[in-house]
Amino acid sequence: MQMQIFRRAVVGLMVLGLTLSALAILSCGENDESTARQTDTLTGNATLTGAAERPTPVSSSGIGMVELHVSADLASITYTLKYSALTRVTQAHIHVGNENIAGPIIFFLCTNVGLGTSVPVVGGPPLPTPPTCPPDANSTPVSGTLTEANLSKPSATATPGTASTNQGAASFSEAVNQITTGNSYSNVHTVANGGGEIRGQNK
């Protein structure tokens, strides 16, 4: 009788041990998945051409590329801009809008028009000065990080004193949503094409 009780106790302990081991393995897997989710980033890329310019396509041999990485906590965007076969580049931005419209600016990627220590925004505080745009092709790529402080709300103006009340995004989270859902584009401007010479949808 005592032997049977002892055997049952041993079996019970073995079952309990196996159950705890299984739970530990599952918990470890969940933690690994959680860590992966925290370090993942959302990525958007754009190929820029003159044919994509709106409202009027531009005949240009220029081409460019933008790569965007949105942080997992959606609090920042790192970017790299490259372009070639362009001359006298003045500035580059991210705008809100689909591929058929010319929309408002929400972020500066670079500027080369001598705005001084800040970018003026009518109806809002000035933006931190973005990196300098390489004026000619085959230059070092432009890279940077965008946060809430870089968001233009309402749209920034590249010319001091020029009114611009178009609003592309009221918050950084809204700007991230516009980018990750494909409703934004990158645009590079030149002296010859002030409205933009090459452009591409961020996807």
Distances from the Cα of 178 to the Cα of 44, 71, 90, angstroms: 11, 15, 25
pLDDT digits (tens, 9 = 90+) for 152-183: 876 555 444 443 445 688 899 999 999 999 99
Q: Are residues 157 and 75 in the same domain?
A: yes
Total of domains in the chain: 2
Please check the confidence at residue 14 and state whether its pLDDT lies above 50.
no
CA 69, CA 79: separation in Å to the nearest integer? 6
Averaged pLDDT score across all residues of the chain: 78
pLDDT at 194: 94
pLDDT tens, residue by residue, 115-152: 656 777 666 678 888 999 988 866 679 999 999 999 98
- The answer to whether residues 146 and 120 belong to one domain is yes
**H-run or E-run covering 28:** helix 2-39
- Give yes or no for residue 1 having a pLDDT over 80: no
Is there a single domain that holds both residue 60 and residue 138?
Answer: yes
| pLDDT at residue 12 is higher than 70 | no
Torsion angle of the four alpha carbons 122, 159, 147, 179, in this order, in degrees rounded to the nearest 10: 100
The answer to whether the predicted template modeling score (pTM) of the entire model surpasses 0.85 is: no
Q: Which domain holds residue 23?
A: 1-40
Same domain, 161 and 128: yes
